[in-house]
């Protein structure tokens, strides 16, 4: 079989009809124009990536003996030297634009720019514009000057109010918030945020924005969204046993703001505030910051103790967590509740009822709130969405006695006017359309499952070191150390592996507690709980045995 050699290709000139040649020529011209315009647009886009410097502070004195171009040169140079520039903020306006802005001739601007160019402060890029030189001439000049001795500033004179806040955090410890960095940390009282129905929430949010539009972007009521207050009043009466109407509800940025508003409304500097001991550390901070003399009151199995020596001053406000005492977890008995209300009425005090975690009770239905027993108008009831929905929502509420409503609204208006109107309107829909109760029921079931699993794993892996106390409600456990001498090493191990259970001692003011840690469980899945506790046990076993 004979292979044929491939023939060499030749370009054959085929004569075109005149009209076709004209059409092809026009097409080529169109393509060139399109490419050219595209390149121009690309160049414009590229230039727009550099934000143009705005010389808003330039002031030209036409009555001065100094020529305008000298004034302009000097002021631009001084601004360049004193500022910091990067590749996105170093382009100067065109001489034409700057001349129009300053009301001078373009020649004046060009003379100033020319001198700045010659002295090395500016450089031009063809087709892009004029930019600040990098580095500036001062970089080389300053290198020859001996550095002056650093100026040592004295620390600022802070108020006693700031100095007395019992908060040891500093620097980057504030960056992550209470929950700390992400991961399995077992921080107490953190909710399972990955289970929040965000799609439903965003749909409701979009609907309220579409319906109310720009109205939700205005300043809002210091009292709170009326639909939200109505929905909350209905919920509190039906599910928490409260007695109220919507006008008694004030929307806040959470329980801490509710405490601050209450303290500012009732307590003068130096007057007494009772708090539980052990108790919520933020209550100690807030009431102390408001100027109250904070007096710790011990708790027993029924709740806060009331009896006091006759020489002690009566409290103006009493902070309690009756549904689920923080951090020990007991529930205030009915007899103690009635005694507390009678005591407050007798001495002219108000009770601040922090009803945190009352929705998450695992043995029987949630207990009615203390406010529902109050016939004397002495209980200020406060709740928050931080544990039920998510903390960064920053929405809570006060159910205030009628005589305190207006004073509290005035204080709220001084603090920050109001909570975000869009979030309030969204939450109102979330409540009225039944999603709130559905979410609570679903989360109670989820938390109950994680709680049982945590108890099982903790007792199996760590019972040699801890005795786990099991409360009826809440999102954390108290684990008592079996040997006091193990506390320093256990604390070190927690820091080493990134765990952040809180020492129970941080909740005490006066009493000396037995060593214990508080562990959160709600925010982590079964697999995370098992892995975290196994890691903790393995490290402890290697170091303590």
Distance between CA atoms of residues 461 and 232, nearest Å: 43
CA distances from 446 to 327, 450, 451, 521, 522 (A): 22, 6, 9, 11, 8
- 172-199 mean pLDDT: 82
**Dihedral of the alpha carbons of 19, 21, 27, 30, in degrees to the nearest 10:** -100
Q: At 94, is the pLDDT very low, low, confident or very high (cuts 50, 70, 90)?
A: confident
- CB 258 within 8 Å of CB 396: yes
Distance between CA atoms of residues 498 and 521, nearest Å: 15
Distance between CA atoms of residues 369 and 262, nearest Å: 18
Q: Which class for 511: exposed (0-12), middle (13-18), buried (19 or more C-beta within 10 A)?
A: exposed
pLDDT at 16: 53
Distance between CA atoms of residues 545 and 542, nearest Å: 6
Q: Which residues of 371-408 are buried (b: 16+ CB within 10 A; e: fewer)?
A: bbbbeeebbbbbbbbbbbbbbebbbbbbbbbeebbeeb
Least confident of 93-97, 348-352, 393-397, 451-455: 93-97
Widest CA span of the chain, in angstroms?
125
Closest CA to 518 of 545, 479, 544: 479
Percent of the chain past pLDDT 90, that is, above it, reads: 55
Closest CA to 341 of 292, 312, 306: 306
**pLDDT value at 250 more than 50:** yes
pLDDT at 521: 94
Whether the bond between 278 and the residue before it is cis, its omega within 30 degrees of 0, is: yes
pLDDT at 48: 47
Q: At 43, is the pLDDT very low, low, confident or very high (cuts 50, 70, 90)?
A: very low
Distance between CA atoms of residues 348 and 350, nearest Å: 7
**pLDDT value at 5 more than 80:** no
Least confident of 75-79, 135-139, 352-356, 405-409: 135-139
| Residues 205-249 pLDDT 10s | 999 999 998 888 989 999 999 999 999 999 999 999 999 999 999
Strands 272-277 and 293-300: parallel
CA distances from 216 to 168, 209, 212, 246, 475 (A): 39, 7, 6, 20, 34
**pLDDT value at 148 more than 90:** no
pLDDT at 90: 74
Q: Which two tokens stand for residue 369?
A: 């709130």
Distance between CA atoms of residues 262 and 380, nearest Å: 8
- Measured in whole angstroms, the distance separating CA 446 from the mean position of its chain's CA atoms is 25
In this structure, the number of other CB atoms found within 10 A of the CB of residue 429 comes to 21
**Dihedral of the alpha carbons of 327, 331, 333, 339, in degrees to the nearest 10:** 40
> What are the helix (H) ranges across 306-420?
334-347, 405-415
Q: Which two tokens stand for residue 439?
A: 């979410």
| Residues 280-323 pLDDT 10s | 989 999 999 999 999 999 999 999 999 866 678 899 999 999 99
> What are the helix (H) ranges across 402-469?
405-415, 421-432, 435-462
**pLDDT value at 409 more than 80:** yes
Q: Which class for 185: exposed (0-12), middle (13-18), buried (19 or more C-beta within 10 A)?
A: buried
Higher-confidence residue of 17 and 498: namely 498
* Adjacent-strand bridge partners of 480: 467, 516
3-state secondary structure of 333: coil
pLDDT at 512: 78
Distance between CA atoms of residues 257 and 416, nearest Å: 10
Q: At 27, is the pLDDT very low, low, confident or very high (cuts 50, 70, 90)?
A: low
- CB 379 within 8 Å of CB 333: no
> H/E element holding 252?
strand 249-252
pLDDT at 439: 96
pLDDT at 176: 64
pLDDT at 35: 61
**pLDDT value at 34 more than 70:** no
Higher-confidence residue of 185 and 175: namely 185
pLDDT at 158: 81
**pLDDT value at 51 more than 70:** no
pTM of the predicted structure, to 2 decimals:
0.77
Distance between CA atoms of residues 7 and 19, nearest Å: 34
**Strand ranges inside 266-339, DSSP E:** 272-277, 293-300, 303-304, 317-320
pLDDT at 11: 47
**pLDDT value at 59 more than 90:** no
pLDDT at 184: 86
């Amino acid at each position: 079989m004979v292979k044929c050699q491939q023939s060499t290709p030749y370009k054959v000139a085929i004569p075109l009809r005149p009209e076709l040649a004209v059409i092809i020529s026009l097409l080529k011209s169109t393509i060139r124009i399109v490419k050219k315009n595209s390149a121009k647009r690309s160049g414009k886009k590229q230039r727009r990536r550099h934000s143009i410097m705005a010389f808003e502070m330039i002031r030209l004195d036409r009555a001065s003996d100094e020529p305008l171009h000298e004034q302009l040169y000097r002021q631009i140079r001084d601004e360049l030297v004193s500022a910091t520039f990067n590749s996105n903020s170093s382009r100067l306006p065109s001489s034409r634009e700057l001349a129009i802005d300053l009301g001078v001739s373009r020649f004046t601007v060009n003379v100033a720019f020319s001198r700045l160019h010659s002295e090395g402060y500016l450089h031009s890029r063809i087709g892009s514009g004029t930019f600040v030189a990098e580095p500036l001439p001062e970089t080389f000049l300053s290198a020859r000057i001996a550095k002056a001795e650093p100026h040592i500033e004295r620390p600022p004179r802070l108020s006693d109010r700031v100095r007395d806040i019992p908060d040891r955090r500093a620097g980057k410890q504030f960056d992550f918030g209470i929950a700390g960095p992400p991961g399995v940390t077992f921080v107490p009282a953190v909710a399972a945020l990955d289970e929040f129905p965000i799609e439903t929430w965003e749909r409701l949010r979009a609907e309220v924005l579409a319906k109310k539009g720009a109205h939700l972007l205005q300043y809002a009521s210091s009292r709170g969204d009326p639909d939200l207050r109505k929905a909350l009043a209905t919920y509190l009466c039906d599910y928490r046993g409260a007695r109220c109407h919507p006008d008694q509800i004030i929307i806040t940025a959470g329980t801490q703001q509710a405490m601050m508003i209450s303290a500012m409304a009732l307590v003068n500097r130096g007057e007494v505030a009772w708090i539980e001991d052990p108790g919520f550390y933020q209550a100690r901070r807030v009431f102390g910051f408001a100027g109250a003399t904070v007096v710790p009151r011990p708790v027993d199995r029924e709740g806060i103790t009331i009896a006091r020596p006759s020489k002690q001053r009566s409290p103006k406000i009493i902070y309690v967590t009756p549904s689920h005492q923080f951090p020990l977890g007991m529930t205030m008995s009915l007899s103690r509740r009635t005694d507390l209300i009678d005591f407050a009425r007798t001495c002219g005090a108000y009770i601040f009822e922090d009803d945190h975690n009352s929705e998450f009770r695992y043995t029987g239905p949630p207990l009615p709130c203390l406010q529902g027993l109050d016939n004397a108008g002495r209980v200020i009831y406060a709740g928050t969405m931080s544990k039920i929905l998510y903390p960064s929502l920053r929405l809570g509420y006060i159910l205030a006695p009628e005589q305190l409503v207006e004073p509290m609204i005035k204080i709220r208006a001084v603090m920050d006017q109001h909570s975000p109107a869009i979030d309030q309107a969204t939450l109102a829909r979330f409540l009225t359309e039944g999603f709130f109760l559905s979410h609570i029921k679903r989360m109670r079931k989820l938390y109950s499952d994680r709680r049982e699993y945590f108890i099982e794993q903790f007792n199996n892996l760590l019972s040699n070191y801890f005795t786990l106390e099991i409360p009826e409600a809440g999102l954390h456990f108290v684990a008592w150390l079996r040997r006091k001498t193990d506390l320093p090493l256990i604390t070190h191990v927690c820091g080493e592996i990134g765990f952040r259970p809180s020492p129970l001692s941080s909740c005490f003011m006066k009493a000396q507690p037995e060593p214990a840690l508080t562990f959160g469980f709600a925010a982590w899945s079964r697999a995370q709980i098992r892995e975290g506790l196994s890691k903790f046990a393995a490290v402890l076993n290697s170091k303590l045995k």
